[in-house]
Structure 1
């Protein structure tokens, strides 16, 4: 009903969040992507709208879904133009090479994919690397491969050269005096930011239990420059620009990086090649 180029333009726009990024990925231009998008929207009688930070299509989507399935099978069988969502921190790892036919999103520190598993289920993406907070409870239709586990450390962020001891003293003082703030990296998905905020709230409650009954959540009690922390894996720390040190007196959380594809596609040669490649490069 629509051409491969037309549907690809819309799906790239949905995945990457803008016609500009879709054009960069497709080696095209924004006007071409927009024109193709409009043809697909008109053909299926659907709308493209932005909800918070996401672009979504609305309307009767059955025919669109069937068309996507046809195009996805063609990508898999011909092993070309296959789409893999990779988080920014793994793209910064040296030498991440994908097998024939696969292409990942461009490495941008200001980009995150909020719901990659949904895009896999909708046949927009062919595979994704997802965080634990992005994996749904209902997963019978998914193949989930755990590639590796990493510690999520409480990380002290700073701009100047300071010893570990000085940083820890500043951290404790800031925690006790209400000058501690959580830094949320722009490459972190929304669900990861929400989990980090939960951990940060727990940290503040532990430091001052009286805050649990406060209606004005944790106001600053002492004026001055805030001290920033973040909850990051080693790869995430390496991908962010600030100087950082791990707070050693903290029991880290556990983070698992997982590859997700539709279960019905696990035996496709292109998917098998991707699994083997990522296991060799990331699965350690």
Structure 2
């Protein structure tokens, strides 16, 4: 009912959040992408709207879904134009390089995909590297492969290139007084930001009794200063430019990188080639 180029224009815009980014991946221009995706909207009688977090289509999507399935099978069989969503920190040099036929989202610090599994189920994406917070409880229709584990460590952000000893002292002083700020990196998906916020609040709650004991102590040379910290894996730290120090006094959380595809496509040659490539690059 619509051409591959027209449907791709809509789906790339949904995936990447703008016609500008869609044009970048499609090696096209914004006006062409806009013209093509509007033809799809008119053909199916649907609308493209922007919510607080992302773009989405609304209306009767049954015919659109059927059309997407046909186009997805064409991509899989031809092993061409396949779409892989990967987080920013895994694209950092040397980063993940997908096999021939696969295209990743642009490596942009301000670009993250809120819900890649939904886009996968809607046949917009063909595979995604998802965080644990992005994987739903209902997963019977999904093939989920654990690629590797990484520690999520409490990371002290050193804005003034302080010594390790001075940085640790400043952090402890700020922790005892609740004078901490949680930095949420722009490349983190919304669900990862929410989890980091939960851990941060738990950290403050655990140390609340200690704050009451130390409030009457004499002022420190750190008085009046705020302190920034973040929960980051080694790859996430490399992907951001701030100097840092891992606080070894706190037990790290465990982060698992997952590859997710639709179960019905798990044995497609194009998917198997992707699995092999990712295992070689980042697998255990």
Rounded Cα–Cα distance in structure 1 between residues aligned with 2:161 and 2:223: 23
Rounded Cα–Cα distance in structure 1 between residues aligned with 2:241 and 2:9: 32
**Structure 1 stretches of 4+ moved >3 Å:** none
* Partner of residue 199, structure 2: 199
TM norm structure 2:
0.94
* Partner of residue 138, structure 2: 138
* Partner of residue 170, structure 1: 170
More moved, 88-97 vs 152-161: 88-97
* Partner of residue 116, structure 2: 116
Q: Does 1:33 align with 2:33?
A: yes
More moved, 170-179 vs 17-26: 170-179
* Partner of residue 243, structure 1: 243
Please give the per-residue CA displacement for 1:213-257, whole angstroms capped at 9, x wherever unaligned.
xxxxxxxxx973321000000000100111111011000000000
* Partner of residue 215, structure 1: none
Rate the CA distance shift 1:223–1:47 in 2: closer, same or farther, 3 A.
farther
Contact 2:127/2:259, CA 8 A, preserved across alignment: yes
Aligned length: 274
**Alpha-carbon distance, 1:169 to partner:** 0.7
Alignment of 1:173-192 (within 5 A): 173-192=173-192
* Partner of residue 59, structure 1: 59
Paired residue secondary structure (1:166): helix
Rounded Cα–Cα distance in structure 1 between residues aligned with 2:135 and 2:38: 32
More moved, 249-258 vs 159-168: 159-168
Rounded Cα–Cα distance in structure 1 between residues aligned with 2:111 and 2:233: 18
Paired residue secondary structure (2:55): strand
* Partner of residue 279, structure 1: 279
TM norm structure 1:
0.94
Rounded Cα–Cα distance in structure 1 between residues aligned with 2:233 and 2:162: 21
Rounded Cα–Cα distance in structure 2 between residues aligned with 1:160 and 1:146: 38
* Partner of residue 100, structure 2: 100
Contact 1:83/1:127, CA 8 A, preserved across alignment: yes
* Partner of residue 150, structure 2: 150
Rate the CA distance shift 1:96–1:210 in 2: closer, same or farther, 3 A.
closer
Which sections of structure 1, spanning at least 5 residues, go unmatched? 212-221
Paired residue secondary structure (1:270): helix
Contact 2:7/2:40, CA 8 A, preserved across alignment: yes
Please give the per-residue CA displacement for 1:142-180, whole angstroms capped at 9, x wherever unaligned.
000000000000000022222222111111111122320
Paired residue secondary structure (2:204): helix
**Alpha-carbon distance, 1:74 to partner:** 0.1
**Alpha-carbon distance, 1:209 to partner:** 5.0
**Alpha-carbon distance, 1:95 to partner:** 5.1
Contact 1:79/1:270, CA 8 A, preserved across alignment: yes
Rounded Cα–Cα distance in structure 1 between residues aligned with 2:100 and 2:130: 21
Rounded Cα–Cα distance in structure 2 between residues aligned with 1:31 and 1:270: 31
Q: Does 1:3 align with 2:3?
A: yes
* Partner of residue 270, structure 1: 270
Which sections of structure 2, spanning at least 5 residues, go unmatched? 212-221
* Partner of residue 12, structure 1: 12
Rounded Cα–Cα distance in structure 1 between residues aligned with 2:88 and 2:28: 23
* Partner of residue 23, structure 1: 23
Contact 2:176/2:210, CA 8 A, preserved across alignment: no
* Partner of residue 208, structure 1: 208
Contact 1:179/1:223, CA 8 A, preserved across alignment: no
- Aligned-residue Cα RMSD (Å) equals 1.4
